[in-house]
A and B are shown apart, each in its own frame.
Chain A
Amino acid sequence: MRRKPRDADYYRQQLLQGDRVALARAISAIENERADTRAVYQAIAGHANRAHVIGVTGAPGSGKSSLVNALIQEFRARGQKLGVVAVDPSSPFSGGAILGDRIRMSDHGADPGVFIRSLAARGHLGGLSRATARVVDVMDAAGMDIIIVETVGTGQSEVEVMEIAQSVVVVCAPGLGDEIQAVKAGILEIADILVVNKADLPDAERTARQLRDAAGLASSRDDKVPIVKTTAISSEGVAELMQYLDDRFAGFDEARRSDAALERMRKIVTGAASHRLSEWLQRLDTDEFDTICNSVLRGELDIDDAAIASARLALTIESEKD
């Protein structure tokens, strides 16, 4: 038994009014690409691109979820509505997942002004799930003022969040030995704000110093990336972080915001297109395709050329089906 699909009118009436059940169903529709996925898109068209989207990334255990919890507190105190998307990895073996981020956000379990959704990465690399960008749009359309996206937290190559968030917060913490690793993984370059969390621990100052050096080296941008020390579990430093976030968002005029929307849409369309193409390639079952593959086996064609040839072939076949 799965829930029955809804039409665009339902989503227009319920989702855009901020109905929580409708929002949850819309997110599932997008994640699972069900019969009513298109209805959701129709309903939200023209209603997104309003919220401040904040990405929170960094090494596992650095305190991302705890920091999100503290941020929720502050934003709620100002009466703003929040959506939170927390992504955790899926098991490569079973496809299942344990989504445990919200255990650290349980101060807000019954607050109607906060909507938290846990997503499994479902095999997608880069720190998010394939549907994350669109889930953000749906939350935006449902009237969230702030949308926080917590990435998987491998601390490695999680640069995708940059494409969907206007502000990227990279969280580090003492004792994880991740400063250098973060530099290697290119994580520091995506930071708009660097946070040294667990400032209550003795080594925090040293971590901040290392980070300052590393960020100086890593940053190719002329604007200096601020470094904020926080203690998420007591909210120390979180007000300062909020100040930086507010300043950034205030600097986002219409033009920059629609640039960001365009960037996000490129990402979404690219993702959808490559998904389509791989589907088409999987359906390829022609002599022509076998000829290409055999040429590679015989060493007459390299894989890259074969890939291009098969993509062209698939494209031709599919467009003839129209």
Chain B
Amino acid sequence: MAATETPMQRERAQTIYEKSKPGRRAAVLPSAGVPEPPLEELIPKELLRVESPRLPEIAEPEIVRHYNRLSRRNFDLDTGFYPLGSCTMKHNPRLNERVAALPGHARLHPAQDPRRAQGALELMWLLQESLAEICGLPHVSLQPSAGSHGELAGLLLTRAYHADRGEQRTKVLAPDTSHGTNPATVTMAGYEVVKVATNGQGGVEMDDLRAKVSDEVACLMLTNPNTLGLFDENIAEIAGVIHEVGGTLYYDGANLNAVMGHSRPGDMGFDIVHVNLHKSFSQPHGGGGPGAGPIAVSERIAPFLPRPQVTRREGGNGSGPSYDLDFDRPKSIGRLRGFQGNFGVFVRSYAYILSLGADGLAEASEIAVLNANYLKARLAQGRAGKHLPIAFDRHCMHEFVLSGKPMKREMGLATLDLAKRLLDFGFHPPTVYFPLLVEEALMVEPTETETKESLDAFADAVEQILAEGEQDPEIARQAPYSTPVRRLDEVKATRQPVVRQALS
């Protein structure tokens, strides 16, 4: 395919430092209005900086243009379908941005006296209550900053729980389908990870689980539905096996979007759940955060929750309830971060919960599951059905995993090639090469906010790419063609890392 350069490709990347010229500036600061002695009279000279950091020197119009042009070199959810499995790329309501930006939220100092932050504490309390109800677990801490931070909280809670009973356990079980943050967290929390196998239905292999449980097991970490998009039907039995040896059960809530209002982790037997507010509860993903990873826990874990906790006191004499921050929690694992958590995220997610309400949340999960099954059915037809078979052929929940193994064998196209060719069709590809269990995996999560038309268009594009691949696989192997840059040399970036702009 003759690659003629698009205008954006012709425009070579130039950093803001390369656009800088001495003497240019944007900011005009207020004058000091106070005496202005030389700095050396206020701070000993040897503690002062000699040369200013070489920040860009550039006026406002060019800053705006620079970042707007850069923004156009991103693909984003507002512009196109983004079926990135496990990430729940659902619509981000702009109402949530508006309410988060209200000065009462955005300009509230985190050290404000709780008596003057009653609205914020009430909001946190209400969000806690809502998440407790959705998860089916009574106590919530909003502190963790993302899913992985919630996982760490969960394992530290597990450690504190066992220590409180005079026990020192060493192992944490996790299925081989688990997300990378699970095993990474296990090590960080000072435990050893033990992998559990997956059975023919995509669930936990019960015999393997039974063989690996012992009183050394502190916890089992599980995602349900799991990363194959399948609900583990043996979950009650699994919970029984773990609880019998005294372990805790941790629910990686990355896939909660499948079951809101339909099934609750607490009822499944889990002790600790994290919720990714940037997935199920519509916080925008921001190009890689911010998010938040609140945890909900059972009674027996509650005494160990992070400090501080939001507490509510019923009012008397006609006054309403009041809210406070409780630091006096002797069994608490302590803080996981500064201040109270990613409050701006709480505002957005609470606005989302208020907008949808009980019915709307259940409907969101229902449509998420309907959309996934529909797209799965569409991709079971035609060439996709032949070259990209479903890894476990049953109804899925909110996402499903295809295997590109036949495509690779028969057409010489790797999953990566298909993904790159999808870019030329204007789609964000699914998650690729995860879960590790499935060869040449493609993990597809459409979410509830996509229309049938979008799903059809995606299925059509896959069909077209496969048809094209039958004729000439080289097209996909060299893709993409239309993106701001084409395939990048990732090996070079790691072997000879250049991680900042050289400045003179």
Q: Do A and B come from one complex?
A: no
